[in-house]
Structure 1
Amino acid sequence: MRRLSDRVILAWGAKRVLLCIFAGAVGVLALPPIGFFAAMFVSFTLLVWLMDGTAAAPNSGAFGNLRSAFSTGWLFGFGYFVAGLWWLGHALLIDADEFLWALPLAILGLPAILAIFYGLAAMLARIFWSEGAGRIASLAAAFGICEWLRSFILTGFPWNMIGYGMTPIPIMMQSAHLVGILGITSLAVFVFSAPALLWTRQGVRVGMTVAVILLAAHIGYGFFRLHLAAKPESDESGSETVIRLVQPSIDQSDKMDTDADRKAIFEKHLKLSTAQPANGGRKPDIIVWPETALPFILTDNKDALTMIADALDDNQILITGAVRVEEPMPGAPARYYNSIYVIDGRGQILSASDKVHLVPFGEYVPYENLLDAFGIRNIVEIPGGFSAAASRHLLTLPSGLKLYPVICYEAIFPGEFGPEIQQANAILNVTNDAWFGDTPGPYQHFLQARLRAVETGLPLIRDANNGISALVDKYGEISTGLPLNETGYADATLRGLSAPNSLNTNRGLNFGLIEVFLTVGALLGRFGFISRAN
């Protein structure tokens, strides 16, 4: 293996480029739907050796080494994001006549942009690079910082943070409650990089000891929280709230067709909502439909509200995704919002919540006046695109339950869960992943939504048009659900729905402390204070 590490370190030219891309791509095996987290050990071991090789050109100078480090990290990131996000191109094929030209931008262009963050991480780590265990501390700290930047720069797109590779199952998710996905990402990079020390024989004792302790603590805390910590028991009195998830599995192209098709879509939702509970169970108290389930503007269709009222019992509540229109001021265009409605058994709209964090080029076009001249427009056919809500507010149900609403990919942003979530009983996530077909996308999206439940300590109610729909408790464990592309409904109560909020408000502070400790470790290694003994 020492010969292998030497060959990677000394690789140059096209061979080095391919190795960098391969190192990034192989790490995607740790993500859903495969979830083989050990793949990240291969990925980051190769990255450390490749980073070691950035110092192999003695005449290149400090700037040359930084440039080499950036290119190494960028190529690594390019491989990672192409392999992990290729499925985004599927959305463009829904209306291929209009958007096929943009397919290379989705499959290669976006990964090229996101890879810049990993290039910056590698360049930052190179500043503190050393021959011992300090170098993997510097890499871990740099990745943590740059993944944090990726979560908000240019509206942010923190999809597939490295830390998700360390959370394939609930026992490996629980650390998110302490340090969040950003904290897990920093520590995961350290752990995943540690095997590189075994074959370069530098800093083995210190680095491997710390890595083993971190991995053991990660799994041990998960075991404690899942199996030893007190959990709320189900109420067998029959008074718990029964929730029905409706998953119609409507093909996205059908949603864009004729009025007759839209009527059939609406009636399919109603039929699934009124179906009798399986095994003689109790009727649901809350029925949930997915994002933009209503294929028309509800407030323009009074018959639809009457049909909903006829389908619901007086004490039932429907929560549905819909497009909401705000009547314009004189001379101004109408404003459209991607929204959630709460409707009671009399067909009254009790509450609505609008999406805050919109998808660029999916729901709105940045610099629209400029880009429209080049024929660049929204994938979603809404005149002028969607408008973003100024703020998010809770949905309060007649029963007193308070839901924190997040629509579609808002669930991937830890920063979208603001202080008001402390008043919530559960997270509500409605989405329409039919845009992405039977690809890894819906599986990756679901994992990230589950992590928000663990981070916040709140149960998750998640309803998707074609899956994955599920009721998830605050430990990330699935109470019930429907797999991808299955048509149907699922009824269940959700453990912990009425329990006090267990939100950990110190996750950001804990992430900051992790970054400080890793940076100190990098500095100690850089200036030779950490032993390089085998």
Structure 2
Amino acid sequence: MSRTEAMPATMAAPGLFALVAQGVMLSAGWRRLALAYGAGAVGALAMPPFGALPALVVALCVAVWLLDGATTGRGRWQTLRKAGLIGWAWGFGYLTAGLWWLGSAFLVEADEFAWALPLGVIGLPAVLGLFYGVGFALARLVWSPGAGRIFALAFGLSTCEWLRGHLFTGFPWNTLGMALGQNLWLMQSAAGIGLYGLTLLAVLVAAAPATFATGATLRARLGPSLAAGFVLAAMAFHGLTRLPEGPDATVPGIRLRLVQPNLNQDVKFRPENRADILDRYIELSDRAAAPDRSGLTDVTHVIWPESAFPFLIQRDPDALARIAAALPPGKHLITGAARADTPPEVGRPHFFNSILTLAAGPKLGDTYDKVHLVPFGEYLPAFLDASLRALHIRQFVAVPGGFTPGDRAHQRILSVPGLPPIAATICYEAIFPGAIVPEASPNGPPPVPGLILNLTNDAWFGDTPGPRQHFAQARLRAVEEGLPLVRDANTGISAVVDAHGRITASLPLGVEGVLDADLPVRLEQRTVYARFGDAPFWLLLGLTLLLAIAARRRVA
């Protein structure tokens, strides 16, 4: 079969656009991979903080044309292999351009970790790009000319994004659905279909204009784009009508103070700074957010970010006493902190990345231990642990033996006097859709939470897109679950977000300050996503696959 014969039968549209599409289809070798890599990199501009949806249109239209040209005369396996290689290059470019800021973490302790910077900035995207290779191969498996191939691509990419978010501990950062999930009106659909449902719609919408360059008739060229425009308009209208006219009500008797100390990462974890760091937290906590208020008289709960101390606060009576003295009676502190526990059967301490609660006394209250730890950041994967330790390589957070994850099977709601039940998350736990509210409890089903709490430390990544992407993803969890989000970050972005995803108060990235805010109420009715999880997504994915198969059979 010649390369001309391999082109879609719909390649009849005139004009420059069609010539560009044809040039992409006819590309070969390194040029084809370079086009795929570049297209993926352009697509990263659709992610926060840029939010350029047209960039995803460019990226996915090129993806469609590259897959159009993936046909070979040497059998289906060779075609799928070529499609998978194209997908890997596309994903490699997308993730390199979207995750380059990870390199900042390797420079915090450059003397120990700078050598590994290429592994994070290039190696991780190269490995994760394999998911997109699988997605492109799945799409090519049910490929057909015309609009049917748009459904095929949506099926393949949505499947690979779900796999990327779940396999090998999962890493759903910058899932394609975030192209829609950062717009207030469009994100409202996540209350029904979640992030992966948004991903499927994002691919359908952004890839549809590819047919404009390849359709044989005006209807074939314009129809998919018009349908995509209708989908976007319907989503925007749904979002507009779902949003209340006024602000959400707030929970009576609760006033929160979020403390954002803006500590540099190279200072934050040095034990010699322990006294100064504690002084800074206490001073900020007593600082009024408005000139007409004073101290802690107007607030009920003070919140400090993840890993607030370079020491084990639970084992430091003097530090606990100082905090207790700063808390008036009836006030409560919620703080991130490392904690240690020594199981009798082990005899050595286990360390946890935790949320601790304290009251005047001092009295330690309920705790939450981080369940979803960061590989290489908070622990070394078991299959590499011995080898890496032999080379004197440790995880970023210098804890003997690494952190121990909380008990996933018995993950529980955090209880703090004066607050509704809390769905607690630490750092990047907030990027996992469907994993915010625990499904099990030692005492049966957990209570329905009244808020999502996210304590984080984004100082690792400086003033880059990373912290902004992190906040955008945490914000979408509020819409999915129908719960307000309270987020306290060391360097920002700290914010309170209502259950519709509206930011009611915030502190920007890279500033020191305090934020006083009321707590918005949760939605009276649980969202469809909160009740059924990814079930609506799977239904949409199945329908998309059926439409792709039907289109393929029509032209067989």
**TM class, shorter-length:** over 0.9
Quote the residue 2:4 is aligned against: none
| TM-fit CA distance, 1:373 | 2.2
**Who is 1:217 aligned against?**
234
Q: Spell out the pairing of 1:23-422 with structure 2 (5 A cutoff).
A: 23-55=39-71, 57=72, 59-201=73-215, 203-204=220-221, 206-227=223-244, 232-234=248-250, 239-259=252-272, 261-281=273-293, 283-329=298-344, 332-367=347-382, 368-391=385-408, 392-417=411-436, 418-419=438-439
CA distance in 2, matches of 1:83, 1:421: 40
SS at match of 1:339: strand
Q: Check whether the contact 2:288–2:514 (CA below 8 A) recurs between aligned residues.
A: no
Which amino acid letter does the alignment assign opposite residue 201 of structure 2? L
User: In the TM superposition, what is the alpha-carbon distance from 1:280 to its structure 2 partner?
Assistant: 2.4
CA contact (8 A) 1:424 1:501 kept: no
> Could you say if the C-alpha distance between residues 430 and 116 of structure 1 is closer, same or farther in structure 2, counting changes exceeding 3 Å?
same
Which residue does 1:503 correspond to in 2? 527
Aligned to 2:508: 483
Letter in 2 for 1:287: V
Deviations 1:244-270, CA, capped at 9 Å, x for gaps? 1100011110123242x1211111011
Letter in 1 for 2:549: L
Instruction: Tell me, in whole angstroms, the C-alpha distance in 1 between the residues paired with 2:452 and 2:525.
Output: 11
Distance in 2 separating the partners of 1:223 and 1:431: 31
- Name the amino acid aligned to 1:500: E
Partner of 2:456: 431
Cα distance in structure 2, aligned partners of 1:330 and 1:24? 51
2:551 corresponds in structure 1 to 525
Q: How much identity, in percent, do the aligned residues show?
A: 43
How far residue 458 of structure 1 moved from its aligned partner, in angstroms, is 0.2
Counterpart-to-counterpart distance in 2, 1:72 and 1:422 = 47
> Is 1:452 aligned to residue 477 of structure 2?
yes
- 1: CA distance between counterparts of 2:233 and 2:407? 43
Distance 1:153 1:182, change over 3 A: same
Provide the rounded CA distance (Å) in 1 between the counterparts of 2:302 and 2:446.
22
Mapped partners of 1:357, 1:234: distance in 2: 30
Q: Residues 454-512 of structure 1: CA distance to partner in whole angstroms, max 9, x if unpaired?
A: 10000000000000100011111111111101100010112215x53623213422101
Residue from 486, 496, 504 that aligns with 1:461? 486
Equivalents in 1 of 2:123, 2:347: separation in Å?
Answer: 35
Of 526, 533, 538, the residue aligned with 1:512 is 538
User: How far is the alpha carbon of 1:295 from its aligned partner?
Assistant: 2.2
- Conserved in 1, the CA contact under 8 Å of 2:150 and 2:204? yes
Q: Is the 8 A contact 1:423 1:501 kept in 2?
A: no
Worse-matched range after superposition: 13-22 or 354-363? 13-22
CA distance in 1, matches of 2:284, 2:53: 37
Q: Which amino acid aligns with 1:345?
A: A
Contact 1:37 1:168 in 2 (8 A): no
Counterpart Cα distance in 2 of 1:383 and 1:410: 22
3-state SS in 2 of match to 1:423: coil
TM-score by length of 2: 0.91
Amino acid at match of 1:401: P
Change (3 A) 1:473 1:118: same
Asked whether the equivalents of residues 261 and 280 of structure 2 are also in contact (C-alpha less than 8 Å), the reply is: yes
The amino acid of 2:22's aligned partner reads D
Spell out, residue by residue over 1:139-165, the C-alpha distance to the aligned partner (whole angstroms, 9 max, x if none): 101111111111111111110000001
Summarize the Cα distance change of 1:61–1:486 in structure 2 as closer, same or farther, 3 Å threshold.
same
The residue matched to 1:481 in structure 2 has which SS? Answer: strand
Paired letter, 1:404: A
Report the Cα distance in structure 2 between the residues aligned to 1:429 and 1:507, rounded to whole angstroms.
20
Normalised by the length of structure 1, the TM-score is 0.94
Q: Relative to structure 1, is the Cα distance of residues 440 and 98 closer, same or farther in structure 2, using a 3 angstrom cutoff? A: same
Q: Which has the higher contact order (CA 8 A, sep 6+)?
A: 1
* CA distance in structure 1 between the aligned counterparts of 2:526 and 2:345, rounded to whole angstroms: 47
CA shift in 2, pair 1:405/1:234, >3 Å: closer
Q: Distance in 2 between matches of 1:390 and 1:233?
A: 34
For residue 396 of structure 1, give the secondary structure of its aligned residue in structure 2.
Answer: coil
Cα distance in 2 for partners of 1:440, 1:514 equals 31
After superposition, the CA RMSD in angstroms is 1.8
Q: CA deviation at 1:94?
A: 0.8
For the residue of structure 1 that corresponds to 2:53, the secondary structure is: coil
Contact 1:479/1:494 (<8 A) preserved: no
Q: Is the 8 A contact 2:289 2:514 kept in 1?
A: no
Determine the C-alpha separation between the residues in 2 that align with 1:275 and 1:132.
Answer: 62
Deviation at 1:528, TM superposition (A): 1.4
* Cα contact 1:470–1:482 (8 A) shared by 2: yes
Structure 1 alignment gaps of length 5 or more: none
1:279 deviation in Å? 3.9
Cα distance in 2 between the residues matched to 1:91 and 1:208:
41
Residues 330, 511 of structure 1: CA spacing in aligned structure 2 closer, same or farther, 3 A cutoff? closer
Q: Is the contact between residue 297 and residue 323 of structure 1 (CA under 8 Å) also seen in structure 2?
A: yes
Aligned partners of 2:271 and 2:310 also within 8 Å: no
1:428-465 C-alpha deviation (Å, 9 max, x unpaired): 00000001111111001000000101100000000000
